[in-house]
Amino acid sequence: MNSDARILVVDDEPVTRECLTSYFETEGFQVFEAETAEQAESVLSEHTIDVVLLDIRLPGKDGLTLTRELRVHTEVGIILVTGRQDEVDRIIGLECGADEYVTKPFNPRKSSPEPKTWYAGYGTVQKPNPLMHCPTALKPSSAGS
């Protein structure tokens, strides 16, 4: 269905990386994985990638640095997937060139009533919500939220 779209998942947490990879593969996307920014750079040099799902806190070069570097050379879609929930971090991430900022832990019970399109502007690919389908990697938010 979406086999032309290529996604790169960059996260040093194996459970999160595997969850997102599995979800997008099931949806028909071609998915590449990287544990570090350096591995991501290698994948990006070898393959055409449409969207990068990028953790901010990576060993070695962090995700914000990689975001800034990517934005100088490419228009690839960049979605920061991070545990940082501070609004200042969100603003910094977007100012560095990210297109979207998603915080974890994700609550699989919360979803937007209208599906959003992560890939708007990156071709004709429509974005499903992968965060709704990763119960093993996700922790529900605190009660009452």
For residue 38, what pLDDT is reported? 97
Residue among 26, 24, 23, 43 nearest 34 (CA): 43
Residue among 53, 41, 49 nearest 5 (CA): 49
For residue 3, what pLDDT is reported? 57
* Confidence label for 106 from pLDDT (cuts 50, 70 and 90): low
Amino acid at 85: Q
For residue 97, what pLDDT is reported? 92
Cα(145)–Cα(140) distance, integer angstroms: 9
Element (H, E) at 25: helix 14-26
More confident residue, 54 or 124: 54
The 10s digit of each residue's pLDDT in 45-70 is 999 999 999 999 899 999 999 999 99
Stretch 95-122: mean pLDDT: 57
Whole-angstrom CA distances from 44 to 80, 113, 133, 135 are 16, 34, 26, 29
* Confidence label for 142 from pLDDT (cuts 50, 70 and 90): very low
The 10s digit of each residue's pLDDT in 11-54 is 999 998 998 888 888 888 999 999 999 999 999 999 999 999 99
pLDDT reading at 123 higher than 80: no
Domains and CATH numbers, the chain: 6-133 (3.40.50.2300)
* Confidence label for 127 from pLDDT (cuts 50, 70 and 90): very low
The 10s digit of each residue's pLDDT in 74-100 is 999 999 988 777 788 888 889 999 998
58 and 10 in contact (C-beta within 8 Å)?
yes
